[in-house]
Structure 1
Amino acid sequence: MIRVLYSALPTLLLSISPSLLAADESHQQTTKIATNAIEKITVKSSTTANTKPVGTFDSPVSNLEYDPRVDLQSRNMAEAQADVTIRGGIFESTGFRVGSATLFDPQTGHYSAEIPIAQEMLSSADVLTGVDNALMGVNSSVGTVSRDWKEIKTAGNAAIGAGNNNFNLQRIYSGVSVALGDASDWTLGLEGEYSRSESDGTIENGDHDFERVSGRIQLVGPSSQTDLFYGSQEKFFGWPNMYTPFNFNETEDLETKLFILNHKQYYGQDSTFEVSTYYRRHNDDYVLSRENPSMFQAFHETEVKSIALSGRHAQTAAFAVNYSSQFITDEITSTTLENNFTSRNYYKLSVLPEYQMALQNEQQLTFRLGAAFDDTNRDHSQVSLIGDITWNKINTDNSSQTFYLSYAQASQVPGYTAIGGSETGGLFRSNYDLGRESTENIELGFTLDRASWRLDSAIFYRQDDDLTDWTYSFDSTSARSANAVDIDTLGVELLAVKHFDNLDIITSYTFLEKSEEYGAADIDASFYALNYPDHRVTLGLIWRPFDIVEVRVDNEWRKQEENALRNGDDDALFTHLTLKISPSQFDGLDIMLAADNLWDEAFEEIPGTPGRGEQYTISASYHW
C-alpha cells in the first residue's frame, strides 16, 4: 500500500487542490441529442498558446514542452526525439492512445511517440492520469496522452517556410466530405497530407531531414464513425551525445509505418463503444559516430499488431459500466538485442462500474470502483484496484465546482532494450532480473469552472516499485545501465486559464519531490527517473490587438533537480513566440514569424546531452 504519513496528508490536501485531466477544457463540452443516439461534441482550448512548432512540421508531441501537464525532454528538437514524461515519471511510463488503442513500441519508449498522423486528423491531447490512465492506458503506469479521430471537413491548407540554420519546410493537406445520396445522415470523407522539412540544426551536427505522408478514409453515420488510416514517415537526425556521454556525434535514421482501422458507435442513452485495430512497423538505424559509423551501429525492427475495445454502457440514468481491453503482440529483429526473448503478447482488461447519485441544489456524487488485469506470456500477471469519488455542483449561471478523491494502481513490463541486450558489455547494458513494475497513486483534486476563467488543481502521492531506470557509473565502460528503483513522488499541480475580449492567459505551477532507493550501489547519476523539475512555471498568452494580427507566446521556467551528468545550470527559461499576420486583402493567407528558445538557453534537458539552440522561421500558409 501507499507509504505515506496519513496524519500529515490532510494538511497537504487542504493546502492545494487539481486534476489536469481536463485542464485545457475551459469551454468543456456541449451535447447534441439526436433521436436515436447521442453525439458528443467537445470543444477544447489548448493548454499552450502555440499550436505549431518552429523547426519542422507538427507531430503528436509538438508543443508538449510548454504543456503544464507534461515534461518533454528532447534530443535535437521535440519532433526529432522526445521523451514524454508525466507527473515525474519517465518516458517508458507514458503511453500514446489513438481511438481506443495504445500505440506501442516494444524496443523502447523513446520511439512510442513515432506516430505518422497529420494533426488535422486528431483532437487535441487529453492527458490521462490516475484512475483514467489505469482504465484506458496499456503498459503505461503513470500517464497516457490520448487523442480521438476528428470528423473530416471539406478544407485544406498549404504552407512553405524558411529560417536560419538553412531550414526549409513544405506542406500540403486537403480534406473533402460529401453526403451520400439525398440524405445528409451519411457522409464519406477523404483526406491526405504530405510534409517535409530539413535544416542544418540549431547546433553543429544537429541536422535533420523529415518526411511524412498520411491519409484517411472516413464513413460517418447518424450514430457512428469509421476510419481507415495509413501513414508513413522517415526521419534522419543527428545530435552530439544523443544517448551517450562520450562526446560522439550520434545519428538516428527512423522509418515508421502505421495502419489503423477504427470504429466508434453511439447507442442507447449516453452509451458508446469503440474498437480499434492497428499494425505498426518501426525501423531504427542508430550510429554512435557519424564520422566513423563502423565503430558502433545498431539496427532494430519492431512489428506490433493489436486490437482494442473500450466504451461506456449506461444501464440506467444512475448506473453505467466503463470498460477497456486490448491485446498486443510484438516481435523484434535486432543486431544487439537478441540475448533474451524477441516476442511477447500483452493482455489488458479493465472494468470500472459507475454510480451517480443526484443531490439537492444541482449537486451530484459519482462513485467509481473497479479493477484492471494485466498479463503477458512472459511475465506474471497483476490485478490492480482503481476507484474515485467525485462531487460536482452546477450553479444557476452554469458555472461549476468539482472535488474528487481517487486511488489507482497500475503496472507495466520493461521494453526490449532494458531486458534484451547484454548484461556485461556494450553501450547500453540490460538487466535480465527486471520484471513487472507497479504503481500506486492517491490524489485529491479541485476544479472551479467559470464563464471567463478556470482553475484546476491537484495534489498526488505516487509510489513506484521496481521502476526500470537508466543509470550511469563513472567507473563503467557502458553509456548507461538498466536498474530497478523504488521511488515515492509527492506532486502538486495548479493550472489557471483566463479569457478576456482580445487576450487569453494560461498559467501553471507544478512541484515535485522524490525519494528513491536503488538496488545497486554503483550508481552515480540517473538519466531519467531523477531528471525532473522541483519547480516549474508556465505562462502562455494569446493576444489579438487587431483583426489581422495575433501574437502567441509560451514561456516555461524550471528549477531542475541536480544531476552529476548535467553541464551548466539547473534552471532554465524557454520562450516560443509567434506573430501571425492575416492580410485582409488576401482571404485565407497567413504570414507567420516564429522563434523558439528565444533566449538561446543551453539547458541540458537530458543530463549530458546538449540543449537545443535558437530557431527563427518565416512561413506563409494558405487555407481554404
Structure 2
Amino acid sequence: MNKVRFNKRSTIVFKRFSNKGYSLFAALGREVLIGILSVSTLSHAKAEGISTRMEKADADSTLLHQEHELDEVSITASRAPLGSTRQARMVTVLSQKEIAAAPAQSINDLLKYIAGVDVRQRGPVGAQTDIGIRGGNYEQITILLNGVNINDPQTGHNAFDFPCSLSDIQRIEVLEGPAARVYGTSSMLGAVNIITRGYDNTGLQAGVEGGSYGYLSATARAKYADRHRWSHSLSGTYTRSDGYSRSQKGHLNMDYNGGKAFYQGRYDHADFNIRWQAGISTRSFGSNTFYSSYSDEQYERTTKTYAALQGSNKHGRLHLRPQLYWNHYTDRFELFHDNPDAYPFNYHRTNVFGAGINSWYDWSSQHRTALSAEIREEDLVSGNLGEPLDHPKPIHGTERAYTHGINRTNIQLTLEHNILLKAFTISMGLTAVKNSWSDAGTRFYPGIDASYRLSERWKVYASYNASLRMPSVTELYYNSKGYNANKHLRPEELAAVEIGIVHGAPGIRTQVNAFFNHYRNLIDWIINEKAVSQELTTTNFGQINAVGLQADVRLDLSRRLPSQRFLKSLNMAYTYLNQDQKRYEGITSQYVLEYLRHKFVANLQTQVWRALGLNFNYRFQKRNGQYAIDFDETTRKNILNRYSPYSVLDAKLTWTAPRYTLYLEANNLTGHRYADFGRLKQPGRWIMAGMSIHL
C-alpha cells in the first residue's frame, strides 16, 4: 500500500453523500460532506468538503474536472480546516475499501502497511501492540476514536485497545510529525484517528472467520437511520486464539480471548448536530516474557469503557465544535498466570475526564482564525503505581486495596491564524500547555506550515512544529524485579522541520519529503552496560537528532494499461531514518534507540476473475538496536544481540457479491519467524478464512 498525498489524481466515484461531523479529526472541527470515496489504494488526502458540481464535456475534460474535484477533499491537520491544495501537513488515510482488501485481523495489523509507522507486536490478533511514527515509540503519539482522545495515562502499551472491530471502521487517519498545535500532550510525533462507519441506512451485518492457532472471531452489527433526524448503530465482537507458543512448563503463554461492544448515535438538525458514542472492550492475553525475564507465563486482563458526546453548528462565520468524554480502564497483571502466591497480582484503575471546544472564525476569504481550549483530568489508583494514598480504596472482587495513586490535570489553549492567498497558504499558531504534575509551569509550542502551488501538478510545502509528551505513570513509578522507575522525569520535547514536493498526473502519483527531528529529554527504559546494576531504569538521557526521508509512488494500472483488466494498482513506499547516537554507545535502550532504519512496503491489487480479487502486501524492515539474549554470571553483563532484517509477504483472496463476501487470507507466507521486540518471535505462516453477510 502507498501513501498518496495532497493533490490526488485518480478517478473518484461518489456513491452516497452524508454529513458526518464526527469523521476526519472531528475534534478539530471538520465536517465531512461526502460519505464514501471509491479509492483503491492507501491514500493521502485532506478532507473538509467537496464540490459536487459536474460539468458536461467530453471524456478528457470530465477526467480533468474529476481530478480537480478530488483536490478539494481535505483532511485538515490544523485547528482551522483548509482545502487540500493549501495544506502543508501529512495525513495518511486508509480507506474502507483498503481495509476490506488487506489481510489483517485487527486495526494494529493494518498500520503495518504504512511506511512511516512502526508496528511491534507481541501477541496474536493485535493483543499486545506498540505503534510508533517516524522513529518514535508507543508513548509519543495520540490515539483517537472518532476524534476523541483515548490515550491511557498508565501505559501506552494498552493504547490500541478499541471497543470497535474492523467491520465498524470507515477509515483510519495517521498524522505524521509533531502535533502539539492540534492535540497537545502525547502527540509528540503524530496521531492515529480511528473513524467508525456512519448511519447512512438501516441494515444488518454478520461475519465469522477462523484459522491457524485456534483463531476464531465472530461479529455482528445493526444500524438504523430514519428519514428524519435520528440514527443509531450497535455492534459486538468476540475473538479468541490459542496463540503460537508455550511456556517451559508446556502451558499456552500467547493465548487471547476478548469481546467488544460499540454503540453510536446521532441527532441531525438543520442548524446543528449532536453525536454520541459508548463502548466496552475486555481482553485476556498471555504476555510470554515481554514485561520481565523472570517468568514466561505472564498474563494480563484489561477492561476499557468509553463514552463521549460531541456537537457542531452548521451555519455562520463562527464555527463551534464542543466535546465531552470519559474513559475508564482497569488492568490486572499476573507475573505468574493464575498464581498470586508466587508473586502478587498488580491492579490498576484509571478514570480520564475531558472537555474541550474547538472554534474558528472566517474574517474573509483570505483570513481564518481558530481558538481552542481543552481540559483533561487523569486519575489513577493502583497497587504499586503512584504516591501512597491517605485512604486506600478497595479492589473489586478481591480482599486487597488500591494503596497508591496519582492525579494530574492538563490544560491546553491553542491560537492559530491562516492566510490564504491565490497559490500560497501560511498557517501559524501557538499552543500553551499546563500540567498540574509538572513543576515547569506553562509551556509554549509554536508551529508554522506553508505550501505553494507551483502548477496543477506540482506542489511544494514546508513546516516547523514543536511538541511535547508527559511521562506515563508506569515510567514514573513502576519498580519491580529488574525495573527501577524515576518519578522525577521531565517531559520529552521535540522540534521538527519538514519539506516536501508532490507531483500528480493521470494514473501516477509521486511524492518525496524529508524531515529533521531534534529531541530533548527523551525518556526510556535503559541499561548502562558500564554500570554495576543491570536493571532497566527510566531516565531523561539527553538529546538526539534524527534525519528522515520518505518517498512513495502510486500507479493506477487500470488507467496506465487500459487494454488489460487483471492489474488494478501497484503502490510502493519507503522510509529511511537515521539517529545520531554516538554519545549513547554502551547503553541498551528498550525503545528510543530501537527504531526502524529502513522500511519498504508494496501493495499489488489484481482482479483475477469477475468478483474474485487477489491482494498482495509486502514489507521489508531493518531495525536499529540490540537486546539481551542472556546474562553472563562471570562478567555480570548482558549478552546482546542485534536485530536482523526481515521480509514478510501477506495475501488475501476475496469474492465480493452484493449481499455477502468470502475470503481466504495468509500472513507471512514464507513462514519466517522474525522478531519485532527482543527475543519474542512472531508466528510463522498464519492461514485464515471467513465470510460476512450484509442484509
TM-score, normalised on structure 2? 0.77
Instruction: Tell me the alpha carbon deviations over residues 6-37 of structure 1, each in whole angstroms, 9 at most, x when there is no partner.
Output: xxxxxxxxxxxx99776999679999999xx9
SS in 2 for 1:72: strand
CA contact (8 A) 1:206 1:238 kept: yes
C-alpha distance in 1 between matches for 2:265 and 2:360: 26
- Deviation of 1:137 after TM superposition, in Å, equals 4.4
- Deviation of 1:126 after TM superposition, in Å, equals 1.9
CA contact (8 A) 1:161 1:169 kept: yes
Contiguous gaps of at least 5 residues in structure 1: 1-17, 181-186, 359-363
Label 1:148 to 1:33 Cα distance change in 2 as closer, same or farther (>3 A): closer
Pairing partner for 1:375 from 418, 431, 434:
434
- Deviation of 1:608 after TM superposition, in Å, equals 3.1
C-alpha distance in 1 between matches for 2:126 and 2:31: 37
CA contact (8 A) 2:668 2:684 kept: yes
Aligned residues: 581
Label 1:274 to 1:123 Cα distance change in 2 as closer, same or farther (>3 A): farther
- The match for 1:438 is 493
CA contact (8 A) 1:55 1:615 kept: no
C-alpha distance in 2 between matches for 1:223 and 1:342: 42
- Deviation of 1:288 after TM superposition, in Å, equals 1.7
C-alpha distance in 1 between matches for 2:533 and 2:508: 54
- The match for 2:570 is 505
- Deviation of 1:56 after TM superposition, in Å, equals 8.3
Label 1:394 to 1:28 Cα distance change in 2 as closer, same or farther (>3 A): farther
CA contact (8 A) 2:9 2:504 kept: no
- The match for 2:536 is 480
Which aligned pairs between 1:447-596 and structure 2 lie closer than 5 A? 447-473=502-528, 480-485=536-541, 486-501=543-558, 502-516=567-581, 524-565=587-628, 570-582=644-656, 587-596=658-667
Pairing partner for 1:414 from 435, 455, 471:
471
RMSD across aligned C-alpha pairs, in angstroms?
3.1
- The match for 1:183 is none
Letter in 1 for 2:410: Y
Label 1:333 to 1:139 Cα distance change in 2 as closer, same or farther (>3 A): same
SS in 1 for 2:244: coil
- Deviation of 1:213 after TM superposition, in Å, equals 0.8
Instruction: Tell me the alpha carbon deviations over residues 43-76 of structure 1, each in whole angstroms, 9 at most, x when there is no partner.
Output: 36552685259998544x3411122231111111
C-alpha distance in 1 between matches for 2:655 and 2:335: 43
Is 1:278 matched with 2:325? yes
Pairing partner for 2:356 from 289, 308, 332:
308
- Deviation of 1:478 after TM superposition, in Å, equals 7.1
C-alpha distance in 2 between matches for 1:173 and 1:413: 37
- The match for 1:402 is 459
CA contact (8 A) 1:230 1:259 kept: yes
Out of 221-230 and 459-468, give the one that drifted further.
221-230
Letter in 1 for 2:279: G
CA contact (8 A) 1:428 1:478 kept: no
C-alpha distance in 1 between matches for 2:534 and 2:595: 23
Out of 21-30 and 152-161, give the one that drifted further.
21-30
- The match for 1:199 is 241
Percent identity reads 17
- The match for 2:230 is 188
Is 1:176 matched with 2:224? yes
C-alpha distance in 2 between matches for 1:533 and 1:391: 31
Label 1:27 to 1:608 Cα distance change in 2 as closer, same or farther (>3 A): farther
Label 1:607 to 1:21 Cα distance change in 2 as closer, same or farther (>3 A): farther
- The match for 2:406 is 342
Which aligned pairs between 1:217-366 and structure 2 lie closer than 5 A? 217-222=265-270, 224-246=272-294, 248-268=296-316, 272-290=319-337, 292-296=339-343, 297-339=345-387, 342-358=406-422, 364-366=423-425
Contiguous gaps of at least 5 residues in structure 2: 20-29, 43-93, 247-252, 389-404, 559-566, 630-640
SS in 1 for 2:112: helix
C-alpha distance in 2 between matches for 1:97 and 1:213: 17
Label 1:294 to 1:604 Cα distance change in 2 as closer, same or farther (>3 A): farther
Is 1:616 matched with 2:675? no
C-alpha distance in 2 between matches for 1:468 and 1:330: 20
- The match for 1:67 is 114
Label 1:54 to 1:222 Cα distance change in 2 as closer, same or farther (>3 A): same
Label 1:239 to 1:254 Cα distance change in 2 as closer, same or farther (>3 A): same
- The match for 2:394 is none
SS in 2 for 1:418: helix
SS in 1 for 2:161: coil
CA contact (8 A) 2:496 2:517 kept: yes
- Deviation of 1:426 after TM superposition, in Å, equals 3.6
- Deviation of 1:99 after TM superposition, in Å, equals 4.1
TM-score, normalised on structure 1? 0.85
- Deviation of 1:526 after TM superposition, in Å, equals 1.0
- Deviation of 1:121 after TM superposition, in Å, equals 4.8
Pairing partner for 2:34 from 41, 45, 48:
41
